[in-house]
Chains A and B, each alone.
Chain A
Amino acid sequence: MFYREAGQYKASYGADQAIFPIAQDRFVVLAGMAVAFLVVPFLASEYTYRAVLIPTVILTLAAIGLNVLMGYCGQVSLGSGAFMGVGAYAAFNLAIRLPFLNPLVCILLSGFVAAAIGIAFGIPSLRIKGFYLACATLAAQFFGDWAFLRIKWVTNHTPSGSVNAPPIQMFGYDLSSPTATYLIALTITIVLGLAAKNIVRGHIGRQWMAIRDMDIAAEIIGVRPLFAKLSAFAVSSFLIGVAGAMWAFLYLGSWEPAAFSIDRSFQLMFMVIIGGLGSILGSALGAIFIVLLPIFLNQALPPLGALIGWKISTATVSHFESMIFGALIVFFLVVEPHGLARLWSVAKEKLRLWPFPH
């Protein structure tokens, strides 16, 4: 009844191609942004910022990056953790070697370093696909683990291997409060997320999807596989790199190489699968889900267990978490490869027809 495009006639192709062609969608998105920017800062506690909001916002950007590569271009990657690391260490090195640069500028520039390295590690994709490509990107992950630990220059010869981010400030103002950190991360994620959305719905995005759906046919209508695949690796690594730099500078503050291990790669992959392959919105849903689920289980399981006289330890909760993730991954891979994003659009479709189901 309320969610309808009836009566909203598109008078031009421009209007039909707008990012949110349906007015209600536009409204929901604007309202969501208003809440995120204007309301949340008045409500959130320091704990909510640190445990929920900041990680969700940053990992959303990383998931969008991985989704560009996996969901849109169809190239598997198990190296996204390492690419977050590349972003983090690139930003760190820019900050200490070019101290006149603002740390926020370093965060953005780190994306370009990650993009360049992403292109290099994307070259095998021109020859190999699927499982073999997954192995090649796994090699990128292990190479990253090794480089962050062993190449001393990367950590500026810090004996412990642990490095610190510079304090975030701008025009002499200190921006390290949780609220400021959250707003900075949110702004970067939204701006780059919208940019990614624009790219995937333009001709470059169509080339990526063409390669994903049928690479032979794509080539036959003139898509150059070299350009399409490497540009996907570049854009994906850029976004993941910026997310990694934010993770280091805005969330961790000080970190060790283990922060960007294979576990992170898998976590991002789960977000993309659960959220929905080939959906920018899905990437955000996946990130929210994966950050919130453990917190929710930690809060909910012990009281539930107490009800039936069963004492649930923290260890048990984390076992549950793994089991639930496992089951969900299998469910989404088998039943709904388009993830939460599809469930969302099915719900919208129902709403569009409601209350007359046919």
Chain B
Amino acid sequence: MAIPGEGRSRVFDEVLLSVENISLSFGGVRALSDISFDIRKGEIRAIIGPNGAGKSSMLNCINGFYHPQQGAITYKGVRRARMRPHEAAAQGIARTFQNIALFKGMSTLDNIMTGRNLRMKSGLFWQALRIGPAAREEIEHRRVVERIIDFLEIQHIRKAPVGQLPYGLQKRVELGRALAAEPELLLLDEPMAGMNLEEKQDMCRFVLDVNDEFGTTICLIEHDMGVVMDISDRVVVLDYGRKIGDGVPDTVKNDKAVIEAYLGVSH
């Protein structure tokens, strides 16, 4: 899939989120040291680096799951204080996990419907009667969710309990759940890990389509360099919790430090 030299030369100016001098440690383990970078509105930003480099920890800081000891995150121009994950979600940040985190006891449809919970407002009383606003709301959101199901081509597993689905489909459902929130910033933690070539190609297509069609800003972690070079606009490279590279794929690919730390080792 990797065609050398083929990047996407798009230019973005508006900063959506910026990370300034973030440091995070767990006891004695330093997961992130003094990291700064930004994510611009509309771009596909990749984070790469060897295992344990701190990539997942970085996403966890962005969506409020981890709280860095130092540094600050500014999102949509607001420097934010400590926030909980559901507050980040309310501000338009959605994500998927490296190890799938679906609701195993629920169907595909219900998992994706849950992604819309922030937009569903009718109270307990109407819910209990399921008439009026509750009924209308349920149908309105079902319509949106069905569009996502069509988009991801998972109509056939709509009613299936997600626990029984194969790995690749579970990843797709998880993407669907994140998309259902109609996020402004979508964080994808290794969306293609463990997939075969065909599944990877499908997933790449979905990521690109989401970015094109809905203008969603995407920040993704990925190991497959071919994929990264193909689909991302800019790349951040982490190694042992430090940032060792940042720029368009072509620049990063030819950077000496990056080649030594990462590219040289595994590819």
Contacts and interface: CB of A to CB of B under 8 A. Distances in A.
Interface size class of B (residues with CB under 8 A): 35 or more
A222 B118 contact: yes
Given A199-B127, A204-B124, A216 B65 contact: yes
Nearest to B60: A220
A17 interface: yes
Contact of B142 (A13, A19, A221): A13
The binding surface of chain B is classed by DSSP as helix
A219 B85 contact: yes
Nearest to A235: B124
Contact of B181 (A213, A221, A278): A221
Contact of A214 (B101, B115, B117): B101
A204 B127 CA distance: 8
Contacts of B94: 220-221
Contacts of A202: 122, 127, 130, 134, 138
Contacts of B85: 216, 219-220
Interface in A200-218: 202-207, 209-210, 212-214, 216-218
A225 B85 CA distance: 11
A220 B89 contact: yes
Contact of B117 (A14, A221, A235): A221
A17 B142 contact: yes
B262 interface: no
Nearest to A278: B105
Nearest to A213: B103
A196 B134 CA distance: 14
B114 interface: yes
Contacts of A214: 101-104
A222 B90 contact: yes
Interface string B93-132: 0110100011111100010011111101010100111100
Contacts of B137: 203
A231 B124 contact: yes
Contacts of A203: 113-114, 116-117, 120, 122, 127, 137-138, 141
A221 B120 contact: no
Nearest to A209: B106
Contacts of A225: 86
Nearest to B174: A217
B139 A14 contact: yes
Nearest to B177: A221
A198 interface: yes
A212 B105 contact: yes
B86 A220 contact: yes
B86 to A, nearest CB: 5
Q: Which of B113, B124, B137 has the most CB of A within 10 A?
A: B124
A12 B103 CA distance: 26
A210 B141 CA distance: 17
A219 B94 CA distance: 11
Interface in A13-38: 13-14, 17, 19
B117 A213 contact: no
A131 to B, nearest CB: 21
Interface in B57-72: 63, 65
B135 interface: yes
A29 to B, nearest CB: 16
Contact of B113 (A206, A212, A217, A224): A206
A217 B102 contact: yes
A210 B114 contact: yes
A112 to B, nearest CB: 12
Given A213-B105, A213-B106, A220-B86, 5 more contacts: A203-B116, A203-B141, A207-B114, A213-B102, A216-B101
Give the 7 A-B residue pairs with the shortest CB-CB distance, closest first: A222-B89, A213-B103, A217-B101, A195-B128, A203-B120, A222-B118, A198-B130
